């Protein structure tokens, strides 16, 4: 591990549980985590990072802020050291596996089962090395074999028991790894997971082990994103014959993986004291996935409006408007190819239009090469520029429109940063983009449109929107004013920081006697349920322990 990450402490005020993000991966979530930690310099943070394999992360992309007192990283798919001892067959605890079977049945209808938290509290001690439901018991006991066999007979619609057996084993292995992590992770006054999934499961374990509050924040909806990945994956077997396959039905093993991540999400929601989303659409999705409505709220991302304001003065009023910039990673979910095709269509009307692609290409080199080849095949050498990673402050004063052609987003910061620098935007109709462009309330909508919203994967509509805004000075200036006013009024960073400050203080300030209170008990309601309001800045200060 990088020596700069070697920080250990006996405890922390807030322990962040992070899956595949900060400090190793750049991007919106990592940037948000970095800003959040730095916003509370008097708060002692611990970080538990969960990744795939250590070799998948080339090194820290962010320096740990000084108030990160503890850091640990765990990798779920590392090869375990060989055990010289041969596996030992055991009978297993029939009562423990029966209790596990009840728990699995409860998870099938987690939203209507009130005892999942109690059941999980009972099961956690059994997951330990010497427990009745330890990994060794799962791998080598007769009761585990009977349990898997019975579940296959009752539920599996795929003919291959072998594939079912190994899928169940692979699926469950990280759960014991995370149980071992939870048994050793530092105590904290508040646990905060920035997703559901494995980090959310670890958060649920920590809540039920310690009784301390858990906060769940989601930028995107983890279960939705994993479902997209799983439906596109090629490593999951589909044993149906050619004439048995119905494209409208998902293969059993894909469905099994989807249900697995849905169950992890339900466990995190059930353990959480408060659950936040970036915008109302995602909050409603959380409720549909099992979150209790009274524990949910929307806290949109905020940006440093005042810090970006000087970029507005750097814009040249004499330069003709013709530069459209897509600022983001060159990966399929950003649909860079639609942006390139839109520029190609626009050149027929505006030959000197420029499309800038500003973002790293290392994440998916094959896709990046395809994008470059597409631009070249369309004869766009003079119109499309691949600029790689750039500082936002160097780019925004030189562009006239921010473009976002993604097929999936939550609340993209780049659109807000463009607004603060005086740049309108064209976005696809994903995530919170329509709220950002057109407003979310009557007062917000009265500010006017800050650009245009177009359908997904529609280069013609994207091109027309760009030509309309670039070709009409009055319309462009109105969009600029609307974006500036919207970001200043509703998306300033201090608003986000102070809302989370209130949540942290509410969670950490619970009396010890109430620390194990379940979600929905007195004091657990989200303080910003359905609200967006200006909050006066305050300082977060945990009293001495």
Contact (Cβ atoms closer than 8 angstroms) between residue 231 and residue 254: yes
Model confidence over 120-173: pLDDT tens digits? 889 999 999 889 999 999 999 999 999 999 999 999 989 899 999 999 999 999
The closest of 382, 409, 414 to 399, measured between CA atoms, is: 414
pLDDT interval class at 175 (50, 70, 90):
very high
3-state secondary structure of 72: strand
Model confidence over 425-447: pLDDT tens digits? 999 999 999 999 999 999 999 99
pLDDT interval class at 249 (50, 70, 90):
low
Domains 1-77+187-232+247-302+492-545 and 305-490 are alike in CATH topology: yes
- Residues 475 and 452: their CA atoms lie apart, in Å, by 11
Distances (CA, A) of 220 to 29, 73, 89, 299, 403: 9, 23, 43, 13, 20
CATH architecture type of domain 305-490: 3-Layer(aba) Sandwich (3.40)
pLDDT interval class at 514 (50, 70, 90):
very low
Q: Establish how many alpha carbons lie within 13 A of residue 514's alpha carbon, considering only the half-sphere containing its beta carbon.
A: 13
Model confidence over 285-296: pLDDT tens digits? 999 988 999 999
pLDDT average, residue stretch 193-209? 96
- Residues 373 and 386: their CA atoms lie apart, in Å, by 12
pTM, 2 dp: 0.83
Model confidence over 415-430: pLDDT tens digits? 999 999 999 999 999 9
Within its chain, how far is the Cα of 12 from the centroid?
Answer: 23
Sorted by where each begins, the domain ranges of the chain are: 1-77+187-232+247-302+492-545, 91-184, 305-490
Residue 354 sits at φ, ψ, to 5 deg, of -120, 135
Distances (CA, A) of 400 to 28, 119, 186, 283, 428: 22, 56, 48, 33, 17
Model confidence over 76-132: pLDDT tens digits? 987 665 555 677 788 999 999 999 999 988 887 755 555 788 888 899 999 998 899
pLDDT average, residue stretch 483-501? 95
Q: Spelled out in words, what is the top-level CATH class assigned to the domain 1-77+187-232+247-302+492-545?
A: alpha beta
Q: How many CB atoms lie within 10 A of CB 244?
A: 10
Distances (CA, A) of 139 to 144, 148, 149: 7, 11, 13
CB-based contacts of 100: which residues, under 8 Å, 6+ apart? 123, 133, 147
Mean model confidence pLDDT for the chain: 88
């Amino acid at each position: 591990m990088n020596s700069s990450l070697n920080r250990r402490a006996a405890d922390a005020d807030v322990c962040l549980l992070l899956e595949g993000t900060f400090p190793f991966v750049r991007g919106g979530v990592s940037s948000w985590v970095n800003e959040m930690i730095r916003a509370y310099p008097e708060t002692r943070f611990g970080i538990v990072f969960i990744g795939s394999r250590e070799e998948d992360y080339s090194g820290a992309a962010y320096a740990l802020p000084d108030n990160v007192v503890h850091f640990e990283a765990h990798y779920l798919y590392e090869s375990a050291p060989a055990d010289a001892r041969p596996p030992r067959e055991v009978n297993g605890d029939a009562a423990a596996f029966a209790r596990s079977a009840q728990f699995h049945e409860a998870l099938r209808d987690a939203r209507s089962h009130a005892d999942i938290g109690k059941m999980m509290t009972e099961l956690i001690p059994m997951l330990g090395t010497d427990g009745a439901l330890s990994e060794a018991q799962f791998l080598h006991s007769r009761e585990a074999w009977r349990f898997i066999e019975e579940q296959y007979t009752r539920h599996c619609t795929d003919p291959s028991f072998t594939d079912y057996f190994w899928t169940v084993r692979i699926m469950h292995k990280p759960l014991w790894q995370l149980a071992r992590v939870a048994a050793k992770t530092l105590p904290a006054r508040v646990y905060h997971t920035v997703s559901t999934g494995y980090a959310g499961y670890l958060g649920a374990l920590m809540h039920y082990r310690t009784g301390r509050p858990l906060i769940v924040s989601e930028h995107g909806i983890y279960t939705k994103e994993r479902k997209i990945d799983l439906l596109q994956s090629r490593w999951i077997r589909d044993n149906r014959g050619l004439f048995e396959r119905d494209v409208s039905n998902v293969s059993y093993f894909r469905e099994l993986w989807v249900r697995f991540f849905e169950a992890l999400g339900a466990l995190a929601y059930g353990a959480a004291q408060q659950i936040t989303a970036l915008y109302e659409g995602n909050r409603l999705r959380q409720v549909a996935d099992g979150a209790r409505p009274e524990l949910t709220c929307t806290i949109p991302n905020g940006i440093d409006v005042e810090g970006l304001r000087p970029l507005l003065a750097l814009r040249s009023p004499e330069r003709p408007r013709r530069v459209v910039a897509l600022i983001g990673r060159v990966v399929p979910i950003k649909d860079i190819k639609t942006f390139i095709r839109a520029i190609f269509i626009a050149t027929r009307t505006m030959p000197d239009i420029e499309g800038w692609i500003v973002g790293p290409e290392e994440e998916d080199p094959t896709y990046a090469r395809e994008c470059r080849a597409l631009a070249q095949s369309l004869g766009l050498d003079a119109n499309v520029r691949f600029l790689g990673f750039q500082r936002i402050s160097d780019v925004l004063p030189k562009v006239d429109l921010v473009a976002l052609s993604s097929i999936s987003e939550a609340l993209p910061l780049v659109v807000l940063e463009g607004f603060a620098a005086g740049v309108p935007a064209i976005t696809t109709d994903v995530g919170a983009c329509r709220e950002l462009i057109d407003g979310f309330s009557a007062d917000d909508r009265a500010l006017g449109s800050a650009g245009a919203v177009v359908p997904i994967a529609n280069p013609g509509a994207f091109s027309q929107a760009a030509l309309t805004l670039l070709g009409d000075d009055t319309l462009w200036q109105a969009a600029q004013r609307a974006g500036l006013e919207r970001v200043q009024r509703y998306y300033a960073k201090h608003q986000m920081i102070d809302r989370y400050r209130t949540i942290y203080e509410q969670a950490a300030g619970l009396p010890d006697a109430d620390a194990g209170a379940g979600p929905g008990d007195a004091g657990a309601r989200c303080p910003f349920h359905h609200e967006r309001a200006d909050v006066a800045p305050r300082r977060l200060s945990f009293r001495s322990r």
